[in-house]
Structure formats: C-alpha cells, structure tokens
C-alpha cells in the first residue's frame, strides 16, 4: 500500500512540476495590430524567439491580429489575451484613467514588460490633394483610424492642435489601417493617419500605387504646443529612404511614441519571466527580425513605460543587472523594498 502511495505521489510531483517550466504546455496569445503594421510581425518575432524554448518552458506563444493598442490593453485587462502591444501614450492613459479609460478610471492591473520600436504619427495624403500640413486637412476626407486603434486618439490630438474640429471641419472616416492604402489609391479618401513603426508594409503599399502619394510633415507652432501639453509625444523622423516612391524628397519630421509590451498583474511570473529572458538573452537575433528594431538597445527597451513592471520581468531585470536602467516609479509598490537598492 505504502509503495503504491509513493508511486502515486511521485507521479503527481512529476506532473505538477518539471524543471524551469510548467507541467503542461501553456498557451499564451499576444494581441498585435493589422497585418501590414509592425505590431503583427513584432508579435511574430517575440513568439518565434520564445517558442524555440517551448519544450524547456512548456510554453507556446501565439499571435493574434487585432484592432490595435486600445483593444489590446482592454483584452489584457479582461483576461481575453495574456499579452498585448500598445503605444506608450495609450499605456500612460490606461494607467492614469484618461482618454478611453476616463469613465473606467485608472487601470491598476496593467503591467509593463518592456518597450520596443519607436512609432511615428504618419499622415499620408494624395499628392494632388494639396495637403502640406495637418491644417490643410480642412474640408478633406480623412481616415483617422478604427476604434480600438492607437492612432485614433493621435489623429484627434493633431487635428485639435491645428484647430480642426473632427465633426465640422473634415469628413472623418474610421477604417482600419490595413484598408487605408487602398482607400487612398481608389481616391475614396484624401489622407489617412497611422501611428506606426518604419518601415512597414502599409505605407509601402500606400506609396507604391498608381496615385502619387506624399507623407505630410507634422511640425510647427501647434506641434510645439502639443509637445508641451502631453508628456508622451516626442519629435521623430520618417526616413525617406524607406518609401522611395513617395513624392517627398527628404526625411519627414513628425512626432511619435513608442510601442510597448504589456500584460496583466494576474499573469504568472514564470510566463513573463520566460518571455522577457528569451527576448533579452537573444537580443541580437531579435533585433534582426524587423528593420524598425535597428535603433533598439537593452537600455532604451526599459524606457517609455508608465505601468509598473510585471514581477516576472522584474526578476529577470534584477538577475541580468538591467534593473539599473529602470525608473524607481516602475517598481511595483509591493516590491520596492526588495528591488529599489539595485537601481542607479
């Protein structure tokens, strides 16, 4: 009897615990964006790196194309998705309960893992539409972005900065970014906004068609005011070399944010640790997976975050010494005593 009991016990232990991972393979999904953006291949890059160690971690990462940042944050918070990619400005707003989260209040379960590539507010217009600044959008048909996307609020911020009313001054459309290039090429819209990393398939598609297309600079006094008002926007440049078919002759100045990788406080630290570790330990390989990652450093991947770092990621940052790059406010209250001493 004793023997049978100990066999059962041994069996249970092996089933429950295997070194470094879970007894049964866990599936987690990353919410991304439209397939022609950079979030979708970013989800792919993260999953590819982590899935190489699937057996070791008993973890399988899958990727889903979604409506974008706002959708991803909400899906992560509701438990529909385990991870999401979201603009740094949307992360800020969710954490503080602003904009889309104004009625719901601060989203205290939101957690940062790391930040990724820079994203620029990209305004693309038909070259013959005489749009040389956001101010020229007056009276035009403009795609602002689909509900759930990050760009919808960015387009609204730019319009407001240039004194334009979304309802009265333009004919606003709310189509998904993936549809915008063909809407432009079919002359069904005059311009569209997309907050996205560069280069990407979407803007290539928009600039490479029959209709000549221009990437419109977002600069000037209204932008300076905007930068003062919102802490999360910064000046950025869209390199002309990425879109040689656009009628622009040089790099395009605009403003932008950063893509960030987020999760919920409720996700197991083992899972978050595994993903963080694999991305950072295979950093050079990860960087090669998309040209928008060319500017990434381990240090800048810990910048542009607002929600506290998930404890699983924190464990890796402490082990690797990267923790010194974190701002103290990113350490969750509960772990301040344990970790604050390792910061610079």
Binding-site ranges for ligand GLU (CB under 6 A): 33-34, 37-39, 68-69, 87, 119, 149-151, 195-197
**In the block, which residue shows the tokens 């800020």?**
92
Tell me whether residue 196 or residue 218 sits nearer to ligand GLU (CB atom).
196
Least separation in angstroms between residue 207's CB and ligand GLU is 17
Nearest distance from C-beta of residue 22 to ligand GLU, angstroms: 30
Query: Is there a cis peptide before residue 199, judged by omega within 30 degrees of 0?
Result: yes
Which tokens in the block code for residue 190?
């005059």
Nearer to ligand GLU, 134 or 197 (CB): 197
The nearer residue to ligand GLU, 307 or 331, going by C-beta atoms, is 307
CB of residue 177 to ligand GLU, shortest distance in Å: 7
CB of 37 to ligand GLU, least distance (A): 2
Q: Which is nearer to ligand GLU, 196 or 216 (CB)?
A: 196
The two structure tokens encoding residue 31 = 């919410």
Select 84 or 312, whichever has its Cβ closest to ligand GLU: 84
Exposure string of 145-178, with b = 16+ CB inside 10 Å and e = fewer, is bbebbbbbbbbbbbbebbebeeeebbebbebbbb
* Cβ contact 144:155 at 8 Å: yes
Contacts of 85 (CB under 8 A, 6+ apart): 30, 31, 32, 33, 39, 42, 43, 69, 72, 116, 259, 260, 261, 262
| Cβ at position 257, least distance to ligand GLU in Å | 8
Residue closer to ligand GLU (CB basis): 39 or 317: 39
CB of 226 to ligand GLU, least distance (A): 18
SS (H, E, C) 243-305: CCCCCCCCCEEEEEEEEEEEEECCCCHHHHHHHHHHHHHCHHHHHCCCHHHCCCCCCHHHCCC
Task: Give least dist CB 77 to ligand GLU, A.
Answer: 16
DSSP per-residue string spanning 89-100 = HHHHHHHHT-GG
Task: Please give the residue whose beta carbon sits closest to ligand GLU in the complex.
Answer: 68
Between 66 and 277, name the residue whose CB sits nearer to ligand GLU.
Answer: 66
């Amino acid at each position: 009897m004793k023997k049978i009991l100990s066999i059962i016990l041994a069996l249970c232990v092996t089933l429950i615990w295997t070194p470094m991972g879970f007894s049964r393979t866990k599936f987690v999904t990353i919410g991304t964006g439209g397939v022609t953006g950079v979030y979708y291949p970013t989800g792919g890059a993260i999953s590819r790196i982590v899935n190489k160690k699937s057996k070791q971690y008993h973890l399988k990462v899958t990727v889903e194309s979604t409506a974008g940042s706002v959708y991803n944050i909400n899906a992560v918070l509701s438990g529909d998705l385990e991870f999401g990619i979201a603009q740094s400005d949307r992360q800020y707003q969710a954490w503080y309960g602003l904009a889309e989260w104004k009625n719901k209040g601060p989203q205290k379960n939101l957690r940062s893992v790391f930040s990724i590539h820079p994203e620029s507010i990209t305004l693309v217009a038909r070259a013959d539409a005489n749009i040389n600044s956001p101010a020229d959008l007056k009276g035009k048909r403009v795609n602002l972005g689909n509900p759930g996307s990050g760009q919808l609020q960015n387009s609204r911020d730019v319009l407001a900065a240039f004194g334009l009313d979304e309802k009265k001054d333009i004919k606003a459309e709310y189509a998904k970014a993936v549809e915008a290039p063909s809407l432009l090429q079919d002359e069904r819209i005059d311009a569209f906004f997309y907050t996205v990393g560069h280069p990407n398939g979407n803007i290539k598609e928009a600039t490479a068609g029959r209709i000549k297309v221009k990437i419109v600079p977002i600069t000037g006094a209204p932008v300076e005011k905007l930068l003062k008002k919102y802490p999360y926007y910064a000046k950025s440049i869209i390199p002309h070399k990425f879109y040689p078919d656009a009628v622009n002759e040089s790099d395009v100045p605009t403003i932008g944010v950063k893509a960030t990788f987020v999760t919920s406080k409720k996700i197991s630290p083992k899972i978050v640790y595994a993903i963080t570790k694999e991305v950072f330990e295979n950093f050079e390989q990860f960087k090669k997976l998309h040209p928008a990652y060319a500017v990434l450093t381990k240090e800048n991947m810990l910048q542009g975050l607002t929600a506290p770092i998930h404890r699983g990621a924190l464990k890796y940052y402490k082990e690797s010494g990267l923790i010194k790059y974190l701002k103290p406010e990113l350490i969750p209250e509960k772990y301040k005593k344990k970790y604050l001493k390792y910061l610079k």
